[in-house]
Amino acid sequence: MASSAENLDGSPETLVDTYQRVRADTTRLIRDLQPEDTVIQTMPDVSPTKWHLAHVTWFFECFVLGVHQSGYRPYDARFHYLFNSYYNSAGKMHPRPRRGELSRPTLDQILDYRKHVDEAMCALLASGDVSHDVGAVITLGLHHEQQHQELLLTDIKHVLSRNPLQPAAVHASTRSPGNSPGSYTFRPGEPGIVRIGASGEDFCFDNETPRHDALLHPHEIGDRLVTNGEFREFIASGAYQDAQLWLSDGWSTINERGWNRPLYWDAALETEFTLCGPVEIDEHAPVCHISYYEADAFARWSGCRLPTEFEWERAAAEQSMRGNLLSCENWHPIAADGGSQFFGDVWEWTSSAYSPYPGFRPLDGSLGEYNGKFMCNQMTVRGGSCVTAEDHIRASYRSFFYPDARWQFLGLRLAKDQHD
Whether 238 and 368 map to the same domain: the answer is: yes
Secondary structure of 258-276 in HEC code, one letter for each residue: CCCCCCCECCCCCEEEECC
CB 262 within 8 Å of CB 288: yes
User: Is residue 172 included in any domain, yes or no?
Assistant: no
Mean pLDDT along residues 72-91: 96
CATH number at residue 302: 3.90.1580.10
CA distance 266 to 363: 44
User: Is residue 178 included in any domain, yes or no?
Assistant: no
String of b and e for 160-196 (b: at least 16 CB within 10 Å)?
bbeeeeeebbbebebeeebeebeebebeebeeeebeb
Whether 210 and 348 map to the same domain: the answer is: yes
Whether 361 and 403 map to the same domain: the answer is: yes
Provide the 3-class DSSP secondary structure of residue 23.
Answer: helix
The strand pairing partners of 219, in sequence order, are 417
Which of 146, 161, 176 terminates a domain? The answer is 161
Bond before 218 cis per omega within 30 degrees: no
The secondary structure of residue 191, as a DSSP letter, is: P
Whether 90 and 137 map to the same domain: the answer is: yes
CA distance 141 to 59: 7
CB 74 within 8 Å of CB 42: no
User: Is residue 402 included in any domain, yes or no?
Assistant: yes
Higher pLDDT, 164 or 12: 164
Phi-psi domain of 279 (left: phi exceeds 0; alpha: psi -120 through 50; beta: other): beta
Whether 127 and 213 map to the same domain: the answer is: no
Q: What is the signed CA dihedral for 217, 220, 225, 229, rounded to 10 degrees?
A: -130
pTM for this entry: 0.96
| Residue 161 backbone phi and psi in degrees, to 5 | -65, -25
pLDDT over 60 at 4, yes or no: no
User: Is residue 234 included in any domain, yes or no?
Assistant: yes
Phi-psi domain of 239 (left: phi exceeds 0; alpha: psi -120 through 50; beta: other): alpha
CA distance 142 to 151: 14
Mean pLDDT along residues 66-91: 95
Mean pLDDT along residues 189-216: 95
User: Is residue 410 included in any domain, yes or no?
Assistant: yes
User: Is residue 181 included in any domain, yes or no?
Assistant: no
Whether 147 and 194 map to the same domain: the answer is: no
Whether 154 and 210 map to the same domain: the answer is: no
Whether 142 and 208 map to the same domain: the answer is: no
CB 346 within 8 Å of CB 409: yes
Whether 79 and 197 map to the same domain: the answer is: no
pLDDT over 60 at 10, yes or no: no
**How are beta strands 379-382 and 277-280 bridged, if at all?**
unpaired
CATH number at residue 21: 1.20.120
CA distance 199 to 309: 17
> Residue 26's domain spans which residues?
15-161
CA distance 100 to 103: 7
Residue 11: per-residue pLDDT:
54
How many domains does the chain contain in total? Answer: 2
User: Is residue 173 included in any domain, yes or no?
Assistant: no
Return the axis-axis angle of helices 107-126 and 49-60, rounded to nearest 10°: 30
Whether 345 and 406 map to the same domain: the answer is: yes
Question: Which amino acid is it at 264?
Answer: Y
User: Is residue 328 included in any domain, yes or no?
Assistant: yes
Per residue in 374-416, pLDDT (tens digit) is 999 999 999 999 999 999 999 999 999 999 999 999 999 999 9
Question: Which amino acid is it at 341?
Answer: Q
CB 4 within 8 Å of CB 124: no
Per residue in 130-150, pLDDT (tens digit) is 999 999 999 999 999 999 999
CA distance 334 to 224: 12
Whether 354 and 213 map to the same domain: the answer is: yes
Question: Which amino acid is it at 183?
Answer: S
The secondary structure of residue 364, as a DSSP letter, is: S
Residue 1: per-residue pLDDT:
37
CA distances from 355 to 189, 209, 315, 372, 374 (A): 23, 12, 20, 8, 9
Whether 253 and 380 map to the same domain: the answer is: yes
